Amino acid sequence: MSRIGKAPVTVPANVKVALEGSRLKAEGPKGKLGLDLPPRISAKLDKNQILLVRDAEDREARSLHGLARSLVKNVVEGVATGYTKKLEIHGVGFKANLQGKKLVLNLGKSHPIDYPVPPEIKVTVTENTQLTIEGVDKQLVGAVAADIRGYYPPEPYKGKGVRFAGEIIRRKEGKTAQSKSA
């Protein structure tokens, strides 16, 4: 039995969960979210718990069991409290600003980068160098943060670029001048 898969998912009081076949729907204070359960995995809804059960004992079903439980937990947690990722922009003249539903990044390139923000995601910019990405879908929040970071990942020599808050960048020493010895 999967250690992760056999643990029940506790549903908070402010979240409503409904099962329609193999589709799980959750609604909470932060919004609504749905999830299609993988094949051969079914869910049972108790009072305030969701228990996931697999139909077979083969390798694929066992591996999907823990995955399905984690995805269900992420959906329930997302509609209850939401997910947040923070990004920092380091570098001279590097900045970001929000224009409607478009994030404009000036990252030292010859042109500004326009990033269309998905409608389910809320992006806030503070001090032109601090980004906060919020949403109910953990996977989408992480993907948006990774996309933005991917435009200029932190480089190891000066440390400039877009990084996650609290991310430690391993710095390297630059080249040293060779002295001529004859």
pLDDT higher than 70, residue 14 = yes
Instruction: Quote the Cα angle for 74-6-143, to 5°.
Output: 20
Q: How confident is the model over 98-113, as a mean pLDDT? A: 94
Task: Name the band, by pLDDT with cuts 50, 70 and 90, for residue 4.
Answer: confident
What CATH architecture is 83-164?
Alpha-Beta Complex (3.90)
Q: How confident is the model over 56-80, as a mean pLDDT? A: 92
User: CB atoms < 10 A from the CB of 81, how many?
Assistant: 15
Residue type, 81: T
Residue 99's pLDDT is 93
> Which tens digits make up the pLDDT trace of 23-61?
999 999 999 999 999 988 999 998 899 999 988 888 888
pLDDT higher than 60, residue 1 = no
CATH class of the domain defined by 9-80:
alpha beta
Tell me what percent of the chain is helix, strand and coil, each rounded to the nearest 5: 20, 35, 45
Residue 166's pLDDT is 92
Task: Name the band, by pLDDT with cuts 50, 70 and 90, for residue 127.
Answer: very high
The DSSP symbol for 119 reads: T
Q: Are 163 and 107 in contact (CB under 8 A)?
A: no
How large a percentage of the chain has pLDDT more than 70?
97
Q: Read out DSSP for 87-114?
A: EEEESTT-EEEEETTEEEEE-SSSSPEE
Weakest mean pLDDT among 43-47, 80-84, 102-106, 142-146: 43-47
Predicted TM-score (pTM) of the model is 0.88
d(C-alpha 142, C-alpha 123), whole Å:
12
Would you state the torsion angle of the CA atoms of residues 52, 56, 57, 60, taken in this order, to the nearest 10 degrees?
A: -80
Q: Are 125 and 98 in contact (CB under 8 A)?
A: yes
pLDDT higher than 70, residue 144 = yes
Q: How confident is the model over 90-107, as a mean pLDDT? A: 94
Residue-range domain boundaries for the chain: 9-80, 83-164
